[in-house]
Amino acid sequence: MIEVLCFAHVAEELKTRSYTMTAPITIAVLRTDLTARGVTGAERLMFAVNERYETDAYVVHDGDTVAVIPMVSGG
Amino acid sequence: MIEVLCFAHVAEELKTRSYTMTAPITIAVLRTDLTARGVTGAERLMFAVNERYETDAYVVHDGDTVAVIPMVSGG
Amino acid sequence: MNWYQVNEHPLDPMALYEGVRHRNVGAVVLFIGTVREMTGEKQTELLEYEAYVPMAEKMLQQIADEITMRWPGTLTAVHHRIGRLDIMEEAVVIATSSAHRADAYEANRYAIERIKEIVPIWKREHWTDGTEWMGDQKEQRPGRPKGVMT
Amino acid sequence: MNWYQVNEHPLDPMALYEGVRHRNVGAVVLFIGTVREMTGEKQTELLEYEAYVPMAEKMLQQIADEITMRWPGTLTAVHHRIGRLDIMEEAVVIATSSAHRADAYEANRYAIERIKEIVPIWKREHWTDGTEWMGDQKEQRPGRPKGVMT
């Protein structure tokens, strides 16, 4: 199992701050799944695994924490 | 008469913070006079008349205040 | 002082200033981002910031490390506030220090630009006519954010 | 607060920060110049600043006016200290504020560069091996300093 953390508009659209998925799974599949769950603009989301940015081909394993990261707007 | 104000190395070399000269006089003549008084690098000094920078051709008149301005180094 | 901090406490610019000073510093640059009321015709009532805190603090540390590589001897401290902020409150303070001013200025500017690229913090504008999560705009491209060092 | 001040009082960066803030400011940049101990192999014991005070304050005002012309809406405050300063003491504080960060950064950098061109303030280094008035170097050209606006 992996934990997927949600923030900002993603958390609002999913009405949750986290959910779980079965591993192993690629970020590309997580992205597709987010679209299926009704998240807008999933093709533009970024992802971090264990607090590091990773790209679509990355394989997430059991115990990893994935964060779905909309375009940041700090500062 | 005009008052000539001196700062930094100029004040030290002349051992005074001000002196007077007879007007009208150009800045070019004031510059030459400073060399005659023993100021080093007088060709590189700047001058302000009544707190405005002026160049060699400027004519200083009675009652004006001239400041001899070595290269600045504030900040 | 924590040098890289993301939390709900009001910011103290002087704490960061004091943190980056030492005997061989000749120049300190502080950037303070504050909540602005008007953006064109739109009026902000308050801002709300949310963060993925542990990763955000790690990314701030990474930005400071990038600065040390690019401008050796330059120190960087960054505090970012989250939660609800009123007009004029401080959202972010960046302090950079170095022997010479060029490094302190350039490093500081670099830090804020990098924060806006890689630090997982999100801003929601509470306009007088509605709310909006900022940043999820068409410029965004999938995958690694622009300029992430690997 | 006096916005353009040259005197012997210790500087208070937060006073300038508070001075340039208002509801439509999104970015404040502070530059703080401090007395550095080492310059290459040379060791500074203290610095001594001297100024032609009334003209120096007038030139600081002129620099702020130049900034307003180049970066409309940007506010600038500058305090410069004179007299004897120990290592780590503040010699100059420049605060700039604007709606957007680019203007605040650029205006601040512009201010310090202009101060070093036109503001009649002189620094004497007290090195461990002697004293030296800085600035009277071969780069200087007679007449109007580089970039003076007429």
d(CA B38, CA B9): 11
Q: Which amino acid is at B49?
A: V
Q: Which of C68, C77, C112, A48 is nearest to D104 (CA)?
A: C112
Is residue D130 exposed (0-12), middle (13-18) or buried (19+ Cβ within 10 Å)? exposed
The pair phi, psi for residue A13, each rounded to 5°, is: -70, -35
pTM over 0.90: yes
The chain D residue lying nearest C45, using CA atoms, is D23
Q: Is B70 on the interface with D (CB under 8 A)?
A: yes
Cβ-based neighbours of D35, under 8 Å, separated by 6 or more: C26, D44, D46, D47, D85, D86, D87, D88, D89, D91
The CA-CA-CA angle for residues A46, A50, A52, to 5°, reads 50
Q: Which of C37, C98, C33, C41 is nearest to C71 (CA)?
A: C98
Examine residue C92 and state whether it is found in any structural domain, yes or no: yes
Examine residue C148 and state whether it is found in any structural domain, yes or no: no
CA distances from C22 to C17, D16, D127 (A): 10, 22, 18
Residue written as tokens 């004179």?
Answer: D82
Which CATH number does the domain housing residue D51 bear? 3.90.1170.40
Q: What is the pLDDT along chain D (150 residues), one digit of tens a residue?
A: 899 999 999 999 999 999 999 999 999 999 999 999 999 999 999 999 999 999 999 999 999 999 999 999 999 999 999 999 999 999 999 999 999 999 999 999 999 999 999 999 999 999 999 999 998 543 333 344 444 443
In chain C, what residues touch D23 (CB-CB under 8 Å)? 36-38, 87-88
Determine, for residues D135 and B71 on separate chains, whether the beta-carbon distance falls below 8 Å.
yes
Rg, C-alpha atoms of chain B = 11
Domain count, chain A: 1
Examine residue B74 and state whether it is found in any structural domain, yes or no: no
Examine residue B52 and state whether it is found in any structural domain, yes or no: yes
In chain D, what residues touch C24 (CB-CB under 8 Å)? 36-38
Question: ipTM beyond 0.90?
Answer: yes
Note the pLDDT tens digit of each residue in C18-64.
999 999 999 999 999 999 999 999 999 999 999 999 999 999 999 99
Note the pLDDT tens digit of each residue in C108-130.
999 999 999 999 999 999 999 99
Examine residue B75 and state whether it is found in any structural domain, yes or no: no
Examine residue D138 and state whether it is found in any structural domain, yes or no: no
DSSP string across B17-38: SEEEEPSSEEHHHHHHHHHHTT
Of D91, D121, D124, the CB nearest to B72: D121
In terms of residue numbers, what domain contains A22? 2-69
For chains A and B, having 3+ Cβ pairs within 8 Å is answered no
Domain count, chain D: 1
CA distances from C121 to C54, C56, C72, C136 (A): 11, 7, 27, 12
Examine residue A62 and state whether it is found in any structural domain, yes or no: yes
Examine residue B9 and state whether it is found in any structural domain, yes or no: yes
DSSP string across B28-70: HHHHHHHHHTT-TTGGG-EEEETTEEE-TTPEE-TT-EEEEEP
Examine residue C149 and state whether it is found in any structural domain, yes or no: no
In terms of residue numbers, what domain contains C54? 4-133
Which CATH number does the domain housing residue B43 bear? 3.10.20.30
Examine residue A38 and state whether it is found in any structural domain, yes or no: yes
Note the pLDDT tens digit of each residue in A29-52.
999 999 999 999 999 999 999 999
Determine, for residues C25 and D34 on separate chains, whether the beta-carbon distance falls below 8 Å.
yes
Which of D18, D25, D89, D96 is the best substitution to test chain C (most C C-beta atoms within 10 A)?
Answer: D25
List residues of chain C with CB under 8 Å from any CB of chain D.
Answer: 13-14, 17, 21-38, 87-88, 99, 101, 104-105, 108-109, 112
The CA-CA-CA angle for residues C140, C146, C150, to 5°, reads 135
